[in-house]
Structure 1
Amino acid sequence: MSKKTSNISIIILAAGASKRMGTPKQLLKWGNSTLLGNTIETALKLSVKEVIVVLGANYNAIKKEIKHYPITILNNEDWQKGLGKSLAFGVEYITSSKQKVDGILVILADQPLINAQFLNKLIDEFNKKEHPIIATSYKNKKYGVPVIFDKIYFEELLTLNDDYGAKHLLKKNKSLVKILIPELENLDLDLKADYESLYKEKFNNK
């Protein structure tokens, strides 16, 4: 694993209201941290230019719990427009701050099985310059986040404004996407039962 700093920034999307979970899932306990804290700690293990966290719903409560990390915290007041809008908001921050980055690694706050080793594999693959998009495999031949987008897509990412993230971008550029399979299943935690089951499996059986 290279110690050299990669010329990419990380955007962690954590702006949602967690309606299906019934409580802000960003703050749910995960080991000695929270789901969002765990994601931030994983991101900080990587040699990247900057770690950006996009918040929205429950901004003040969540910011209070993560402000001690060496990260950039953004408040997307249009978070209700969905994941795509939060991603566009993060990209807008990068472009307006005139950062010269080669790309962005997009991570969700609710995928606790994604580890630093796998994210480093995505970065290493991106650094080969063979594929402008590096995505993660899901079940049923689907793929998506964590995903790295080359800077050539920033203009399109800035126009996102719905809850489907960048799915259409991945679909449109399918032939240019390299897909990597994580060691553990790539799970999103949306329901309380899913969270409790995974937490028990991960921490209570030891």
Structure 2
Amino acid sequence: MEVATTTPLQDDSKHERPPATVAAVILAAGKASRMGEGGGHKLLAEFDGEPLVRRAAKTALSADVNVVIVVTGHRWNEIEAAVLGLEVTAIYNPEFASGMASSLIAGYSAAAARGVDGVLVMLADMPGVTVGDLNALISSFRQSSGKVIIRAVSRGKRGNPVILPKSLKDSIMQLKGDVGARHLLETSGTPVIDLDIGEAARLDVDTPEEVLVAGGVLKG
């Protein structure tokens, strides 16, 4: 008599690569010079009853990231006080006056960001960016196995946030002056995927008028 045998199905889930890890780095170190003398700090302006920088941090914390880092500089004590009680890592950038590059480097250098597959770079002065926007960017990054740049756009126009893969870390660490990652996006040779998140990708607040138009209330 022939006895039929079956081979147990393999559990492929054991061999699946875990999703790419992402650290959110919120740049909140700038001098906000366009607010004018006595114009207040834009990141302390209140939107829906809370400081803009705290709003940005809470948005990042609610997204599917592994860690949230806030880079401070100008009026750092007030910025750190604004995010007090949130599960974020605050990093002070002593070179903040030299421009955005030093803040990017400070965020990348944080111990909390060590070993992640990608860094989600957020500007703290963009009140329209939502948790859904961030998760859409992160999902696209993970679908690409963490190997590409993901850039938020609005109607084809470049915007923020962006996610940078770990392959660009050495290049980021060489940046100088008041430049962000835009130059690297255009020259690194790393593929770029643009994701349209609507007007939020280009809505930042740099002046008192822009704060008010966006629905903010100027404070300190």
Q: How many pairs align?
A: 195
TM-score (norm 1): 0.87
The aligned counterpart of 1:106 is 121
Which 4+ runs in 1 deviate beyond 6 A?
none
The aligned counterpart of 2:85 is 68
Q: Which amino acid aligns with 1:14?
A: A
Give me the identity figure in percent. 32
Q: How does 1:142-161 map to 2 (within 5 A)?
A: 142-161=157-176
SS of equivalent residue, structure 2 residue 184: helix
TM-score (norm 2): 0.82
CA spacing shift, 1:82–1:106, aligned 2, 3 Å: same
Post-superposition Cα deviations, 1:95-137, rounded to whole Å, max 9, x if no partner, equal xx68321111000111110101011000000001265100011
Structure 1 unaligned spans of 5+? none
**1:174 Cα deviation from its structure 2 partner:** 6.5
Q: Determine which of 196, 204, 207 is the counterpart of 1:181.
A: 196
Q: Determine which of 87, 106, 123 is the counterpart of 2:104.
A: 87
The aligned counterpart of 1:132 is 148
* 8 A contact 1:83–1:165 mirrored in 2: yes
In structure 1, how many angstroms separate the alpha carbons of the residues matched to 2:74 and 2:85? 19
* 8 A contact 2:153–2:198 mirrored in 1: no
Quick check: which has more Rg, 1 or 2? 2
The aligned counterpart of 1:193 is 209
**RMSD across aligned C-alpha pairs, in angstroms?**
2.1
Structure 2 unaligned spans of 5+? 1-17
* 8 A contact 1:83–1:163 mirrored in 2: yes
* 8 A contact 2:152–2:160 mirrored in 1: yes
**1:183 Cα deviation from its structure 2 partner:** 3.2
The aligned counterpart of 2:14 is none
In structure 2, how many angstroms separate the alpha carbons of the residues matched to 1:144 and 1:83? 16
SS of equivalent residue, structure 1 residue 199: coil
